[in-house]
Amino acid sequence: MIRSSTMRFISLAPLPLLFCLALAPLAHAEDQPTIDNAPGPQLRAGSLMLIPAPAHVQHTQGEGFTINASTPLRAQGEAAQRVAAQFADLLARSGGPQLSPASSGMSGGIRFILGDVPASARHLPDAVEGYSLQSSADGVIVRASTEAGLFYGATTLAQLATGGSDGRVPAVRIEDAPRFSWRGLMLDSARHFQSLGEIKQVLDAMAAHKLNTFHWHLTDDQGWRMEIKRYPKLTDVGSCRVPAGDGGIDPATGGARTYCGFYTQQQIREVIAYAAERHIQVIPEIDVPGHATAAIAAYPELGVLDTPLQPLSEWGVFPNLFNTEESTFTFLENVLEEVIEMFPSRYVHVGGDEAVKDQWIASARVQQRMRELGASDEMQMQSHLIKRLETFLEQHDRRLIGWDEILEGGLPPQATVMSWRGTEGGLAAASAGHDVVMSPVTDMYMDYLQTASPNEPPGRPALITLARTYGFEPVPATLAADKQHHILGLQANMFTEHTRSYARLQHNLFPRVAAVAETGWSAPAQRDFRDFLARLPAQLERYRAWGLAYAQTPFEVGVTQREDRRAGTVQVQLANPLGYEVRYSTDGQPVTAQSPLYQAPLQARVPATVQAAAFYNGQPLAAAPTVAAYTAQSLLTRNDDELLSCPGPGQLVLRLEDDGPADGERAVFNVNIFNPCWRWADADLSGIGKVQVRAGRIPYYFQLAHDEPNRKFEKATRAHGEMKIRRGDCTGPSIAEVALPASPDADGFITLTATLPKGTTGTGNLCIGFTGDTRPAMWVVDEVTLAD
């Protein structure tokens, strides 16, 4: 379905202004916007336009050095020359000049020197990746003891010469090295598949942010994405699924439309080599014993049940586990053998998360097998499997890493823990002497929404803002000093249930990856969020030069309003979520740095239109202004972005995409999948006789495992159910209801009109819900309109 509702807010769209009316600031309006609570940018004294912030910066005398197309680029030795070539490429891609290696000499211009770092830099935490950079009127010298360190120095120099600097590098001395050795990004290619070119673009962006670990999630319930030659059905069968609903129907034939994709071993080696050139290790993940549906679909003998399976088109937590037979252990070891042959990294990730044990509990054969192995419960059975794989990997000079569930039932002695359910698992593992990578769902999950903007793409519930990501501290304050070295670093995780396109992937990752990079590289003393915000616009300019489709939503202007429908007035509040200054226009003219500065809510009679944009140093931050238009009709309408969930227990609000059309734009809905009910708060029903609801229908494509009892629905009394209108706390008797059709119209929507009882009046909650089981499909609200 393609949404065609009449939204009053149309962000990032340079629309013509149909209604122009001057809006006057309210000096003493109640409920001021939250802009005063946003941090706002503030450049620290001496800061450079670098992300991540370096460990030590010393400004020196002189005017610095300007890099232009004639600047000589010098390096001696194969490794230094490689770095020089990579610097030239990054500089040009970031908007700087194209440089060529100098034919001779090692004086003047830009020099890359591989050798001992200065004694003053040897105290830095990681000399392996450390470097020094010195700039003066005579040129720039980048020096490091390793090629990786020299590469990171080159990355710093490319930033100094771009992002609005016009090639001017200040006179400065930088001594720099990362705080943590593991600065990672996990990408899920199992739920949604990325092309080889897209993977390489992600690696380029990681390298430019000084990230050094690419965790590649290659297997899951929805797809097996890695060629294993000994088991060809893993990709022949396991790499294809039929999407739920209209997305799985071929519009031309009406038959099944499969979603497929996998990487050959040759392609995987190509990715590994590409990453290695950028000093990024690639960590493969083969998930066991859960997230195994695609593998079991390919080889049913690996499963616990006799029921045939297919790679799943749903999201959530599934009960399908590998069985506990010796033959299955051998299968996993055989798979790991080919993985080890492809991936030179020291670590292999074996998952271990969200393994619902219901099938093991119910299986007499698994219970017998547990007794044979001496496992007292299912967690010990999982621990036995993990220890078996850990021993196998140790025999092949590899180390096992897994999600923090591998702590349960006992942890193999050499295992490393990736803590995702918070930091508690990491704290426990580090305290017991295990190495840890911190990647908590509360701070490091990039598939969570990053702002409250209606322009956010589909994603998981709640917000992980740029500020929250930046503020994450990987070393728990309660961890003993002698155990802190076990915190290897941090990692951002990009699961892709809701990330159907590469454009959405870029939106979800950037600019939050910049915050992850600084948290992983820079010591706490160098980290300051307001300073980061002041440096971020320069990084955005580099993003634009790369053609990177970073999220616009953190740089939009958010708009909220208080309306008086009977008076025909509206009070408009503006705020940028990061606290950048907001300027606005109400006369139809473009918003510029000279437009009025927003300082207090605006009030006007409708019709009225306001444009607004966020600025830093006179430059707009978003691609286009936010436009909000108000008419008498718009005051009577709410779309689902403006509606709230109904109160009460059972809240799991997701931002969900519709299942069709097969290609192109799809409608997006905010839905509480535990209790689908929408609420118009403070709806004024005076003079209103009808409620018109534009509703759509989407597949219920979730499995919730032990959370399934939280899913609620009201039993239908008609053949296809009812839409019910309620007031108050949304739980009382309905005041109006309409029979639902068997299906929506051809466009995927239906407009339902409920007549209110005579005498309905007053202001309060207006609640809209639908009866009937939400499986296999559920009705969702797109737009609500009040009519007389």
Catalytic residues: 354
Structure tokens at 699: 């597949």
Torsion-angle region of 420 (φ positive above 0: left; ψ -120 to 50: alpha; else: beta): alpha
CA–CA dist 280, 268 (Å, integer): 14
∠ CA 80-81-83 to the nearest 5 degrees? 65
Q: What's the Rg (C-alpha) of the chain?
A: 28
Enter the tokens of residue 230: 């000994």
Sort strands 626-630 and 608-616 into parallel, antiparallel or unpaired: antiparallel
> Which two structure tokens, joined as six digits, stand for 458?
């589909």
Q: Check residue 441 and report its DSSP letter.
A: T
CA distance 656 to 667: 8
Nearest one of 64, 215, 93 to 154, comparing CA atoms? 93
First to last CA, the chain: 29
The neighbour count for residue 63, using CB atoms within 10 Å, is: 10
C-alpha dist (Å) from residue 151 to 64, 85, 98, 739: 22, 10, 18, 66
Contact status, residue 304 vs residue 366, Cβ threshold 8 Å: yes
- Residues across the chain: 788
Degrees to nearest 5, angle at CA 220 with 218 and 221 = 155
The residues pairing with 694 across neighbouring beta strands, listed in sequence order, are 751, 783
- How far apart CA 143 and CA 141 sit, in angstroms, is 6
Task: Please spell the DSSP secondary structure of 251-267, one letter per residue.
Answer: TTTSSB--EE--B-HHH
Distant-in-sequence, close-in-space partners of 17: CB < 8 Å, separation ≥ 6: 588, 609, 611, 627, 629
Cα angle 572-573-577, degrees, rounded to a multiple of 5: 145
393, 348 in Cβ contact below 8 A?
yes
Decide the pairing of beta strands 139-144 and 131-136: antiparallel
Cβ neighbors of 260 (< 8 A, separation 6 or more) are 193, 239, 240, 241
The two tokens of residue 215 are: 């965790």
CA atoms of 169 and 159, how far apart (whole Å): 9
Residue among 238, 243, 343 at smallest CA distance from 295: 238
Tokens for 68, please give them.
Answer: 């232009």
Q: Which residues contact 261 (CB under 8 A, 6 or more apart)?
A: 193, 223, 225, 239
DSSP symbol at 771? B
Nearest to 614 by CA among 581, 573, 577: 581
